[in-house]
Structure 1
């Protein structure tokens, strides 16, 4: 393992304790949780995440990494609340789903590198499962409807924003109204055809890329099951389109200490690849760099 470069240190994170203000069911086994965390809300950029655990207890002991789904301002325009969307699966998320309003949670973040705000003509977000969670903020920054970071990053860097969102069935699609309200072009696909088209996300993406002009600067970002992201990466490579992936490897610390979240990433030098910590050197990587 090569030495971790200073730019990947998690020294800009803040640890806060806050009470759960909302914890709503937004899809089958899918919840949206809201907490007041002004320090995190003010500095987070799209694609970054927080670690969360229940405060004052060691059961469960290990926190859970959750992408920041949304940032909401108070009446003065100050970023104050963050929303986290999660799937109830496992001890930590089961505990969160059963937590009453007012329950104290500890969060540390923002963590990870986040998506770049590289200009393009068209941003296509290809997601599956719970992979939609980092895309609301990214799309809003891209179309200029919201700014993120401290100092605020440049927004309005894409002329068009599309979301291709797949799930097993209609009931698992969460946040669709939020994406439409944000003025994204939304295409839904389900395994059983209960919503949208009965196709897989990579196939829908391939057809979409084939019909778009080759003169457009197209950028694809993807998040979801690894097998889906691998196929999206292949589609983009064949179409010669830039693609970034948001890796969802399990994390324990979120700050690069425990080495539990490493991914095989290609590199230059005598060794063709190395293990990279998804929590600090990711979770966003160029799709061509991942050893699938």
Structure 2
């Protein structure tokens, strides 16, 4: 796009503000309510964690470990997938999605309802609400997990946080979702039911567009240029780093604002170990290391030193 879309950020924050630091997080044991398989090796776990569910916002995460299990000793970070509410609208449970890939996620997959997990959160800064005409969510692999709640919030179907966040409406939400093959596609019914314009790409052509998810992004930006001339676009992205780098470059070249939610591995999740640092450009033109867990995980894509 020739003209850079001008998005207004509502409820903006400084990522160094104390409200986004781990001393405001809660540690709690929580009972597993559901552990449903969504796709090959992919599960949605629902846990009884009302205290965290009522405060968490899209893009934030929790650190999780299996209670009583010492291998692995450290927890793992999982983005909030959605919040479960009762008939009165009160948050009563939290959903997160995981891909079985190691000791902790293998242990989680074996958890039956009634098992206890330990978690602390909410952690990280999350996605600030953004007023725009078209919000484009770009996901690769397991990177789709923050976007169900993010899309619902933009469309006004749900509110998150305590007090509930306001603003950030989008006329439409387009989600570009890339997978390697069809049996790894997870969450499709939930995204469509939430009203997202879901567009799928696969590396092998077994589902959706045969090609890269960035092909879908370019199409969505072309439509925004043709159908939304002079109006506002916001791109948000999560997934493998090479994909996020490619999305960031496309958006920079086309003048579209873009945020990325980094998936940097974390050891502590609370900012003390510095194992999850990312290179972030500073106003003076140089760069500095920022901790993904407390300064992110959401960053302006144009400021990342890929």
Superposition TM-score, scaled by structure 2 size:
0.91
Contact 2:79 2:96 in 1 (8 A): yes
Contact 1:265-1:291 within 8 A present in 2 as well: yes
In structure 1, what is the equivalent of residue 77 of structure 2?
A: 65
Deviates most, 64-73 or 98-107: 98-107
| CA distance in structure 1 between the partners assigned to 2:216 and 2:21 by the alignment | 37
Please state how far the C-alpha of 1:100 moved relative to its aligned partner: 2.1
When structure 1 is superposed on structure 2, of 242-251 and 54-63 the one drifting more is: 54-63
Conserved 8 A contact 2:182-2:206: yes
Task: Deviation per CA, 1:61-104: give whole Å up to 9, x if none.
Answer: 01010000010112332101110100000111011111222111
Gaps of 5+ in 1: none
Selected match of 2:217 from 205, 221, 225: 205
Q: Does the CA contact (< 8 Å) of 1:13 and 1:111 recur in 2?
A: yes
In structure 2, C-alpha distance between the alignment counterparts of 1:55 and 1:249, rounded to whole Å = 24
Structure 2 Cα separation of the partners of residues 138 and 274 of structure 1: 28
Return 150-159 or 254-263, whichever deviates more: 150-159
CA shift, 1:252, in A, is: 1.2
Structure 1 segments, 4+ long, off by >6 Å, are: none
Structure 2: where are the runs of 5+ without partners? 1-15
Inter-CA distance 245–59: structure 2 relative to 1 (3 Å threshold): same
Inter-partner Cα distance in structure 2 for 1:144 and 1:155: 9
Structure 1 contact 143–155 (Cα < 8 Å) conserved: no
RMSD after superposition: 1.3
Contact between 1:147 and 1:155, CA under 8 Å: does it hold in 2? no
TM-score by length of 1: 0.96
* Alignment partner of 2:267 out of 227, 236, 252: 252
Q: Distance in 2 between matches of 1:265 and 1:85?
A: 28
Match of 2:148 in 1: 136
Tell me by how many angstroms 1:7 deviates.
Answer: 5.1
Is the CA contact (8 Å cut-off) linking 1:119 and 1:158 kept in structure 2? Answer: yes
Other-structure match for 2:28: 16
Question: 1:94 and 1:278 mapped to 2: Cα distance?
Answer: 25
In 2, distance between residues paired with 1:275 and 1:5?
A: 17
Comparing 155-164 with 243-252, greater Cα deviation is found at 155-164
In the TM superposition, what whole-angstrom CA distance separates every residue of 1:92-149 from its partner, at most 9, and x where no partner exists? Answer: 1011111222111001000000001021111000101000000001000000000001
CA distance in 1, matches of 2:27, 2:192: 33
Matches within 5 A, 1:1-292: 6=18, 8-155=20-167, 157-213=169-225, 214-269=229-284, 272-292=286-306
Render the CA deviation track for 1:241-269: whole Å, top value 9, x for unaligned.
00000000001111101111111111123
Secondary structure of the residue aligned to 2:89 is: coil
Q: Deviations over 1:15-53 (max 9, x none)?
A: 110111111110011000000111111100110000000
